[in-house]
A = this chain, B = another copy of it.
């Protein structure tokens, strides 16, 4: 345990660098074994040092959730960037500014209207874009179905409009709701099959579609065959979290992000330990509420990151967390006196990280480095 954890300002977002590195290695190995490139989604960390570690391990390019991420990481020398949200027409000028500055930015679209907006913008500025079409493989959110007539219409509009149609991409977000290896293997196969089918439908129409990009952390880690796929995307694996733990893809001891907190009070009769980790630190994410095991606002751990049996952060106000045990019988006032420091494993690493301007990254030797995190749009 780092002695600095006793003196750091709280709340703080701690990264366990050793765990993070091991998570990065695990996903990179998985991609290597499946014979596909890995494109980490950096929306989880939004942090240069984390992304550099992913690239050092073998990642090929990154995916981003905002153009601000693209701008920031491009400035830091990363050029191969996929903006993985269907682009609003009003954002095309920002995207083009990045491309004309030399960024190999790829954008995505899932409608004919969106494709036409890209074609018109490119025509009016005499420029071009590299575009993926988003496929809806699991009825989760966005995307066009692989058997929808719109798919080839979009591909054709882009190609004949002078836009480089790079390929198709999908994200099986429904996988977050599953929790057995069998179910995750099955949805990973659906994700692959649907995306490959979309690429084949486009190719059958005589249009180019070289790339097939799929992924989510649970499907990426459970896929056994990615035949026809060229690229895997995943984000939250870099830290993992309680939602991922509930899907079965990681143990609690693989969670690399935790919130360092200080006990600031008690309500002895109620068994409440009041901490300075409210929702402003944890985020309001209650992702495990709808899963098999509801962890409240997080699993309370010792400073050594050992979960305390039965102790959860059960509720949160803005700057107050309330932790209590499953069962009565423990005098929280004497066991967890004011000033005690604890660590909380969060439901959702992307949401919890977003609450902090910086991470405190803990090296194996106990030294701590501040790593900046970007936010906003």
A88-B264, A141-B317 known; A114-B338 Cβ under 8 A: yes
Q: Measured between C-beta atoms, what is the minimum distance from A274 to chain B in Å?
A: 6
Q: Which residues on B sit within 8 Å (CB–CB) of A265?
A: 86, 110-111, 114, 142
* A224 contacts partner chain B, Cβ-Cβ < 8 Å: no
Q: Which residues of A, 133-163, contact B by the 8 Å Cβ criterion?
A: 136, 141-142
* Complex interface bits, A93-116 against B, C-beta within 8 A gives 1, otherwise 0: 010000000000000001101100
Bound Cα distance from A10 to B7, whole angstroms: 39
Q: How many copies does the complex hold?
A: 2
Q: Which residues on B sit within 8 Å (CB–CB) of A350?
A: 318
Q: Which residues on B sit within 8 Å (CB–CB) of A319?
A: 43, 65-66, 85
* A124 contacts partner chain B, Cβ-Cβ < 8 Å: no
Q: Which bracket fits the contact residues of A?
A: 35 or more
Q: Which residues on B sit within 8 Å (CB–CB) of A285?
A: 279, 284
Quick check: A173 and B317 within 8 Å, CB to CB? yes
Contact of A7 among B90, B263, B348, B357 (CB under 8 A): B90
* A89 contacts partner chain B, Cβ-Cβ < 8 Å: yes
Quick check: B276 and A88 within 8 Å, CB to CB? yes
Q: Measured between C-beta atoms, what is the minimum distance from A137 to chain B in Å?
A: 13
Q: Measured between C-beta atoms, what is the minimum distance from A172 to chain B in Å?
A: 13
* Complex interface bits, A360-377 against B, C-beta within 8 A gives 1, otherwise 0: 000000000000000111
- For the complex of A and B, the 4 pairs showing the least CB-CB separation, nearest first, are A284-B284, A357-B376, A88-B262, A284-B285
